[in-house]
Structure formats: structure tokens, C-alpha cells
Amino acid sequence: MSALLLDTGILVEILAVPEASFVPSRIFDVIDTADRVALSVASIYEINQKTKIGKLTTNLIDQIIMDEIQGEGIEILPLSALVMAQAASLPWLYKGREHRDPFDRMLAATAISETLTIVSVDPAFDALNIDRIWT
């Protein structure tokens, strides 16, 4: 049984232009055959924030993104008080420094809480010994 949590960047690549994606086809196969594919609600916020400040140019916002995510069969996971507390308190050192990205912290805590393997290009997750699929 495989249960996956998509990193925000992976979600954007999958929904935006899959055929022009940097995501290897093997990763698409893993996602397509997974028993459970989930997304943290934090990723929706992250996409909107990055679009708002110009770091991401996408039309995957608001109801459009919700329709596309649900159409792909992706489960949207809420952020519980427990997950948020865990995200804030994770002892997460990466390259000798505290990893402070709040979105990564929320995703990591969600993966831990739900026992999910994260699909991400970001090696920072490896510092937490979270199962990660990329290559």
C-alpha cells in the first residue's frame, strides 16, 4: 500500500503543464498507482501566496485549483492543531541551519502525522528521516 503527500511544487507541475513538467515520468507512474494521494491544505495557501508576490505565475487559484485537485482524485488534508504544533516544534536542521520554511514544516508534520511518503524534489525532508520519493 502506498500513501503519498504531494509537495506544493510537484502539485503545480502536475496540474499546470504535465507534458512540460520537470517531474520524471517514473514519479507520475508512482502517483498514478498509489493507493492514496494527498495534499496539505497548506499547499493551496502557498500557491496563492507565491502567485500574489510574483514568485509563481499560474492560474491555479481559488475554485479552479480545488476543482482540478478533486478531479485528479487528490485528498485534501486539513491542518489540525496537533499538526501545526508539531510543525512549529520539529527539530529540523538542514545544512547546519534551522530549516525555517513554514510550508515545508507543515508538509513534514502532515507526512509524519498521516504516515505518508512525501513526493518532493527537496532533499531537506531527508534530514527528518521522512520517506521521500523523487529519483
- For the stretch 14-51, pLDDT in tens is 776 656 567 888 888 899 899 999 999 999 889 888 88
- For the stretch 68-80, pLDDT in tens is 677 778 888 999 9
Is the separation of the CB atoms in 21 and 14 below 8 Å? yes
Domain that holds residue 49: 3-133
CATH of the domain at 100: 3.40.50.1010
Poorest-pLDDT segment among 20-24, 98-102, 116-120? 20-24
- Distance between CA 38 and CA 128 in Å, rounded? 19
Collapse the DSSP code of 80 into the 3-class scheme (helix H, G, I; strand E, B; otherwise coil) and give the result.
coil
The total domain count for the chain is 1
pTM: 0.87
Q: Pick the residue with more confidence: 43 or 62? A: 43
Cell 501545526 -> residue = 84
